[in-house]
Amino acid sequence: MRQLVVSVADHDVELASDELWRLGVVAIEERHVNGGVELWTSVGEELNSVELPWPWPWRFVEVDAAVADTWRQFAAPVVLDSDLVVQPAWVAYDAPHGATVVVIEPGSTFGMGDHPTTRLTLVAARRWVQPTTRVLDVGCGSGVLAIGTMLLGAACAVGVDIAPAAVPVTLSNALANDVLVDVSTTPLEDVQGEFDLVLANILAPALVELAPHLRRVLASGGVLVVSGILDGAHGHVLDALRPLEVVQTDTLDGWAAVTLR
């Protein structure tokens, strides 16, 4: 299994970790070496040919899959609301009566439910889910948001992602949760139809680029939740999404999810 290793100074750990989370990694291990820090993370195969934009030295390292997966021992159910939980598929969990539990096996995708942007987006989404709601999850990763909204009672959910791994992972997670999600690598530009609730937990630059299509696929009166953006540094994303207007902004650990109509 291929690991991405980024070498940074102590004071850059947070910034570099944010960049890695934005890439869609599911776990980061910090190793203190030679007065600095190495950030080790598993990345999908699709990253291999991509130019990594940051200033820090990085390298790919082949490691045994069992070693790369040590983070799994520390995974735990994530309580988003008192009655909404994301459960790692390999962790036993005694759910409270009546709770909605989204069971996720992320494989090499992002979407364990523990990242603040995932948490914020699913909690914001649940405010709008009704039995007639058609959901589009742009950048579905593990499918956690699309599957979560289906479990919360949405009528149907479509997921798209540029990462091919998202398709089999979302399909198998949907099956494990006994819901249907229509998932593909269809670019958002080519997605047809209208959706009452569009979720996009992806990087700010991608949100800006996709903004015209995020507006296009939104049904009249529909709701868009965007995340993957930093609290206090996402004005340019909101500008790109005009004339949609902000209904609510939720924040957690320096991240934001903005609900627009």
Ligand X SMILES: C[S@@+](CC[C@H](N)C(=O)[O-])C[C@H]1O[C@@H](n2cnc3c(N)ncnc32)[C@H](O)[C@@H]1O
* Choice between 161 and 196, CB closer to ligand X: 161
State in angstroms the smallest separation of the CB of 49 from ligand X: 15
Residues 96-135 binding ligand X (CB under 6 A) are 109-111, 115, 118, 121
- Counting Cα atoms < 13 Å in the Cβ hemisphere of 39 gives 24
Of positions 160, 181, 198, 256, contacts ligand X by CB under 6 A: 160
Of positions 12, 19, 38, 161, contacts ligand X by CB under 6 A: 161
Q: How many residues bind ligand X (CB under 6 A)?
A: 25
Q: Which residue has the tokens 């800006």?
A: 208
**Residue 141, interface with ligand X (CB under 6 A)?**
yes
* Choice between 57 and 187, CB closer to ligand X: 187
How far is 119 from 73, CA to CA, in rounded Å?
21
State in angstroms the smallest separation of the CB of 32 from ligand X: 27
Nearest Cα to Cα of residue 174 among 111, 255, 225: 111
b/e burial code for range 155-180 (CB count within 10 A of at least 16 → b): ebbbbbbebebbbebbbebbeebebe
What CA dihedral angle connects 213, 219, 221 and 226, to 10 degrees?
Answer: -40
**Residue 256, interface with ligand X (CB under 6 A)?**
no
End-to-end Cα spacing for the chain: 42
* Choice between 145 and 244, CB closer to ligand X: 145
The contact set with ligand X (CB under 6 A) reads 24, 109-111, 115, 118, 121, 137-141, 144-145, 160-163, 166, 188, 201-202, 206, 210, 228
